[in-house]
Amino acid sequence: MYQATLSRRSYRFSDLRQLMAKASPARSGDYLAEVAADSAEERMAARIALAEVPLKTFLQQLLVPYEQDEVTRLIIDSHDALAFAPISHLTVGDFRDWLLSEQADSAMLAQVAPGITPEMAAAVSKLMRNQDLILVAKKCRVITRFRNTIGLPGHLSVRLQPNHPTDSLQGIAASMLDGLLYGSGDAVVGINPASDSLPLLEKLNHMLGDVIQRFAIPTQSCVLTHVTNTLRLIERGAPVDLVFQSIAGTEAANSGFGINLALLAEAQQAALSLNRGTLGNNVMYFETGQGSCLSSNAHHGVDQQTCEARAYAVARHFSPLLINTVVGFIGPEYLYDGKQIIRAGLEDHFCGKLLGLPLGCDVCYTNHAEADQDDMDTLLTLLATAGLTFLIGVPGADDIMLNYQSTSFHDALYIRELLGLKHAPEFADWLTKMQITDDLGRLRDTAANHPLLLALQGEQP
């Protein structure tokens, strides 16, 4: 039992699960799950009580039962007690103060990251203002490598997302080359296929691999199909760089995705066996989003933001090159409007970075949400200020296959110019060599006989 008194009224919370849910900022998914605070006053009372909870409590009072959930078992069994030691005496409120202090610099945050559980990260985020989430995330530095170096301070990468509603190879190639000429693609060239046809998926892999090899582009490709399809593609000899999978924060929700930890481990080993990376061996790419556990009725009464943070434990176990929260994609039933989407994006980025992950974000919304592109401009600017690892680049910010609104190649140009952010260094050198950018990293005018344009026309450069 937890309790706090506010305005002469005593509020009681039956267990840690309820306390965490009641302390969460308001969002439509928690109201849908009937776990949200009934009033702003109850929410504040829950935060007051949560601030007094020792961090050690999260290792003893588990929100999802150990016996029922392999994600919980992963969190507890892999917990690094030595890394936890410097903060083990703190309460959640003390942890917030410590994170905001000068003592918690980048080196110290990297040292304690393996000792922080997702529930600890989620709990402290509930006590933070937006500016706190930004400041702490900015101090967290996570660097990964495959064919280039992602996550360096002062850098921002872009996933080039050339989706097409009929998986037209020509249409995908056109969007891909368009993005490259705008300087996008250093995170990954990643296609969401409309089809699960293995022969088509194999063609997409070969096309991406051929373009990357032909022009010696220091980046990686990924066809974002189910992990079981990727395993089959590897068996067929397809040039697979990264293994993709959507993941969630409970075993039941992951079962709904058709996955478990053993399957992900099998896929990771299969990708590593190909030895296609030149600088590193981070071969996994994960996507997450608040509300996925609730949407499959697999949340165990846990609030959606804490469930999201638990998904990061799954990701952390497999040392991914990239992970991003597709923050507004699941719809207004879970994040109702621009304000809720902005808050969720900052929470997700903070929790992921605090846990030691290369967190990116698909700054996005669906057309039936109470949000617009101005809200996305705000979130993009805040996340980039907070040290975002990568964002999404879609032609015109309008994904014509997935039918949602994301960020464009032009948005990437905006945020790089505004904050002086650079491409991955190997990719930046390639852009200069290909005369796409000048020596200062600025876009150049592209001549009609540029090799990439000639390739699109089917001509030899």
**Which of these ranges, 243-257, 286-300, 429-443, has the smallest mean pLDDT?**
429-443
- Please count the other Cβ atoms lying within 10 Å of the Cβ belonging to residue 103: 9
8 Å CB contact between 216 and 461: no
| Average pLDDT along the chain | 96
pLDDT at res. 454: 82
Please report, for residues 35, 42, 128, 298, 347, the alpha-carbon distance to residue 24 in angstroms, rounded to integers and kept in the order given: 10, 11, 10, 19, 11
Q: Is pLDDT at 342 greater than 90 in this prediction? A: yes
Three-state DSSP class for residue 90 = coil
DSSP class per residue in 99-133: HHSTTS-HHHHHHHGGG--HHHHHHHHTT--HHHH
Rg (CA), the chain: 22
8 Å CB contact between 99 and 136: yes
pLDDT at res. 12: 97
pLDDT at res. 17: 98
For 52-107, the pLDDT digits (tens) are: 999 999 999 999 999 999 999 999 999 999 999 999 999 999 999 999 999 999 99
For 349-391, the pLDDT digits (tens) are: 999 999 999 999 999 999 999 999 999 999 999 999 999 999 9
pLDDT at res. 140: 98
What value does the mean pLDDT take over residues 105-111? 98
What value does the mean pLDDT take over residues 213-231? 97
More confident residue, 426 or 438: 426
Alpha carbon distance 285, 215 (integer Å): 23
More confident residue, 342 or 1: 342
- The CB-side HSE value for 379 (13 A sphere, CA atoms) comes to 32
pLDDT at res. 362: 97
pLDDT at res. 456: 67
8 Å CB contact between 413 and 423: no
Please tell me the pTM assigned to this model: 0.96
Strands 149-150 and 144-145: antiparallel
For 267-317, the pLDDT digits (tens) are: 999 999 999 999 999 999 999 999 999 999 999 999 999 999 999 999 999
Note the residue count of the chain.
Answer: 461
